[in-house]
Structure 1
Amino acid sequence: CEAPLVEATTQHFDSCLGCLACVTTCPSGVQYDKLISATRHQVERNQPRTLPEQIIRSLIFNLFPYPGRLRPLLTPLYFYQKLGLQKLVRATGLLKQVFPRLAAMDSILPSITLDAFRDKLPEVIPAQGKKRYRVGMIIGCVQRLFFSPVNAATVRVLTANGCEVVIPKTQGCCAALPEHQGQTKQAKIMARQMIDSFEGTGVEAVIINAAGCGHTLKEYGHILKDDPEYREKAQKFADTVKDVQEFLSEVGLTVKLSPLKDEPLTMVYQDACHLLHGQKISVQPRQLLRQIPGVQLREPLDAALCCGSAGVYNMLQPEVADELGQQKVENLLNTGAELIASANPGCSLQIKKHLQLRGKETTLMHPMELLDYSIRGVKLES
């Protein structure tokens, strides 16, 4: 029998991070990720939301997965930061009192750079030297706007290691955001579009450099299991998806790596939940980073603890997210590492926020940026 969907049930599932630690922990192998996704779909269909909740959720789901809609907002956001308005708003604390969830969004807003205003990567980037593989690459939504240097670094690392990279211009959102929040119809539309965008490209693997996106892409077979037209195509596509660290660990690096500093570099790798629990990827990033000469990896206390980002959780449940973010950053800082490596944009924004709140200037970079520096012989600033 089915349990009735009451307000308490909704509150429980809204409070769930979706970090998937339960999937890893369960001795019986229960696929809680699929149960959570299915229940959230029912919550969104049947449980009424307050007007403020409706507004913030509508804003998130109608903007964030659509770079074309989000990009026009970059200009006012750019001047909002450059003219010092953001500092003023944060100093007064007024936004947090009046619109706490908008304040939560502002608190993780990254610095807007000119790179965010247009996509610079061409559709096909040739391999350097002998071509070993032809791979596709997904450039994401938030990733392409706010973390375009990570995408550029990923391309350089792949091409330096013999990969021809294909980036279809028709690709959109991978569906991670709506799928994680029970917006099933929207997620299915986006999944179909993504599959179509790579059809006929002849790629041997589809590469992704963001943890949450990778987990959803690998679930396309499940997401479209009831679609007779896309069922087989979805599973075939999902089988080709590889996190970039997973892929490079499998095929191996072929280029020489240089030290990032003249002296040893202490570093801590932050496990993103959708890599650690969602894709069982934890060893591979560490293996790659240890190949950089002079790198000394340190392990944090409770490495599996969620940072509180959890997709858009830190915007919808900012109080709980802040508690987790504070603890996560404390654990990372307690390692004494000079640098934090993180392979997920949401985690990076959350960790940077709590580093800033502590007045810490610890460097945070994506592993692909570090490998790219090492390949090109670029040294980190001391």
Structure 2
Amino acid sequence: MQHAIPPDTHGPLTAPMARAVEKCVHCGFCLPACPTYRELGTEMDSPRGRIVLMKEVLEGSLAVADAAPHLDACLGCLACEPACPSGVPYRDLVSAYRASTAAEREPQRPLMEKLRRKLVSTTIPHPSRFQFAARTGRLAQPLAPLLPRALRPMLELIPDEPLPPLVVYPPTVPPPDGVPVRARVALLLGCAQQVLDPDINDATIEVLNRNGIEIVIPETQGCCGALSWHVGDLPSAQKFAVKNLAAFPADVDAVITNAAGCGSGLHEYPLILKGTRAEAAATAFAERSCDISVYLAKLAADLEPIPAPSRALRIAYHDACHLANAQGVTIPPRDLLRAIPNVEVIEVPDGATCCGSAGSYNIDQPEIAASLGRQKARHLRSTDADLIATGNIGCLTQIKSHLAKDGGPPLPIRHTVQILRDAYAGRL
């Protein structure tokens, strides 16, 4: 199919969008892989259908408002990419499209939807604000039925347990005395993760330090920008990206992420900053960035041996979409878990389907997100696992919530690196 997107109409994002559009041959292999197509059952809510809608909007033959309900319903989970025989880079299209049409789309949104999006964008990327908002929201939860329907999902997603205090880390964390330094990395802390489960960062630091890795934690780092980028707020995404390019030192062996969404966001910096003076720096930064599981797997032969747990464990591994689909990382976390003696890694039925978290999706599209969350919890229960492992705070929070609601027995869910840390410490 030849694209007809007018050149330069949408700035530097035009070429990547055009390449993505013209690669699609409309074969339909993406349909069964798409969670929203399976939920909604309409062609326009499939990747193939959305590509046609985006093409028509960008060509000027379809109004943004007519395509909006179907584009807003896209999770951005990228399950369509590994299913596509033509290699359509859907990631280069959907967020770029949202950014290119934001000026026309945003004024069309209902007032309460605008307010909800504003609250999300001004709180979650800033840990201290997010913590304050979550604690305030917990107090307001009894009033949820009185709020406008568009605002209720934010209160419903606040965890029941008290939030831990924010952790302030030193700018450099060396290995313990007696452990020689063999590498130096920088760590992205993640914004929601610092509020919801800072122990993931603690575990990351402990496992790296134990294996001789010195960690730099830039004080001026900020949100990765993925939340802004995936909803089409390009100016905010660029601001976050530029801030992190300046904050992270160039003289480290790698920039480590431990949240799949954040890692995916860093790898999209070249597109987010395309056409700017920072594009080359963004490309170099993305190339140095990798998930904690990838970095540890490269050291596998030299990792400190892990003691055997006191009992055999069945661990179900949940693939976070932005780790498996966006970054292509599926084997390293499984290999790390299998390196723990007496551990059996269990595959999850329909494991490639999104859990429904997807950044702020479970706030913007709560009905679809809840359905996917219930299905994921049911499939995880069916594994008869002792423990669930995953690599993303959003998935962890979503799955934990739905496991708590389904009436089944407690089923713990932990980040892969938390499980490794606990195995080293003899706490499994």
TM-score by length of 2: 0.81
2:50 is matched with: none
Instruction: Kindly provide the CA deviation profile for residues 271-317 of structure 1, in whole angstroms up to 9, marking residues without a partner as x.
Output: 00001100010111100001111111111111101001111111000
Q: Which amino acid aligns with 1:169?
A: E
1:14 is matched with: 72
1:365 is matched with: 414
Deviation of 1:110 after TM superposition, in Å, equals 2.4
Note if contact 1:109-1:349 (Cα within 8 Å) is conserved in structure 2. Answer: no
Quote the sequence identity (%).
Answer: 38
1:58 is matched with: 118
In structure 1, distance between residues paired with 2:347 and 2:380: 8
Gap regions ≥5 residues in structure 2:
5-58
Q: Which amino acid aligns with 2:124?
A: F
Instruction: Kindly provide the CA deviation profile for residues 171-194 of structure 1, in whole angstroms up to 9, marking residues without a partner as x.
Output: 010001001111001000000000
User: Which of 171, 192, 209 matches 2:221?
Assistant: 171
Note if contact 1:141-1:172 (Cα within 8 Å) is conserved in structure 2. Answer: yes
In structure 2, distance between residues paired with 1:373 and 1:183: 39
Identify which of structures 1 and 2 has the higher relative contact order when contacts are C-alpha pairs closer than 8 Å and 6+ apart: 1
Do the aligned partners of residues 16 and 207 (structure 1) sit closer, same or farther apart at CA in structure 2, a change above 3 Å counting? Answer: same
Alignment of 1:15-94 (within 5 A): 15-47=73-105, 48-73=108-133, 75-76=135-136, 80=139, 86=141, 89=142
Deviation of 1:114 after TM superposition, in Å, equals 6.0
Deviation of 1:365 after TM superposition, in Å, equals 0.6
Deviation of 1:231 after TM superposition, in Å, equals 1.5
In structure 1, distance between residues paired with 2:63 and 2:207: 48
Q: Which amino acid aligns with 1:37?
A: S
Note if contact 2:184-2:215 (Cα within 8 Å) is conserved in structure 1. Answer: yes
Deviation of 1:6 after TM superposition, in Å, equals 3.2
Note if contact 1:107-1:353 (Cα within 8 Å) is conserved in structure 2. Answer: no
In structure 1, distance between residues paired with 2:357 and 2:235: 24
For the residue of structure 2 that corresponds to 1:115, the secondary structure is coil
In structure 2, distance between residues paired with 1:145 and 1:114: 7
Note if contact 2:163-2:195 (Cα within 8 Å) is conserved in structure 1. Answer: no
1:140 is matched with: 190
For the residue of structure 1 that corresponds to 2:164, the secondary structure is helix
In structure 1, distance between residues paired with 2:317 and 2:136: 34
In structure 2, distance between residues paired with 1:97 and 1:271: 37
Deviation of 1:97 after TM superposition, in Å, equals 7.0
Note if contact 2:64-2:104 (Cα within 8 Å) is conserved in structure 1. Answer: no
For the residue of structure 2 that corresponds to 1:8, the secondary structure is helix
For the residue of structure 2 that corresponds to 1:134, the secondary structure is strand
Do the aligned partners of residues 71 and 109 (structure 1) sit closer, same or farther apart at CA in structure 2, a change above 3 Å counting? Answer: closer
Do the aligned partners of residues 114 and 212 (structure 1) sit closer, same or farther apart at CA in structure 2, a change above 3 Å counting? Answer: closer
Alignment of 1:282-297 (within 5 A): 282-297=330-345
* 1:109 pairs with 2:158: yes
How many residues end up aligned between the 2 structures?
364
Q: Which amino acid aligns with 1:157?
A: V
Deviation of 1:232 after TM superposition, in Å, equals 1.4
Q: Which amino acid aligns with 2:400?
A: K
Note if contact 2:113-2:150 (Cα within 8 Å) is conserved in structure 1. Answer: no
In structure 1, distance between residues paired with 2:303 and 2:275: 42
Do the aligned partners of residues 133 and 5 (structure 1) sit closer, same or farther apart at CA in structure 2, a change above 3 Å counting? Answer: farther
User: Which of 296, 300, 307 matches 1:258?
Assistant: 307
Do the aligned partners of residues 363 and 107 (structure 1) sit closer, same or farther apart at CA in structure 2, a change above 3 Å counting? Answer: same
Q: Which amino acid aligns with 2:388?
A: I
For the residue of structure 2 that corresponds to 1:309, the secondary structure is coil
Runs of 4+ in 1 over 6 A off after TM superposition: none
Note if contact 2:267-2:286 (Cα within 8 Å) is conserved in structure 1. Answer: yes
In structure 2, distance between residues paired with 1:96 and 1:207: 41
RMSD: 1.7
TM-score by length of 1: 0.91
Gap regions ≥5 residues in structure 1:
none
Do the aligned partners of residues 97 and 77 (structure 1) sit closer, same or farther apart at CA in structure 2, a change above 3 Å counting? Answer: closer
Do the aligned partners of residues 236 and 6 (structure 1) sit closer, same or farther apart at CA in structure 2, a change above 3 Å counting? Answer: closer
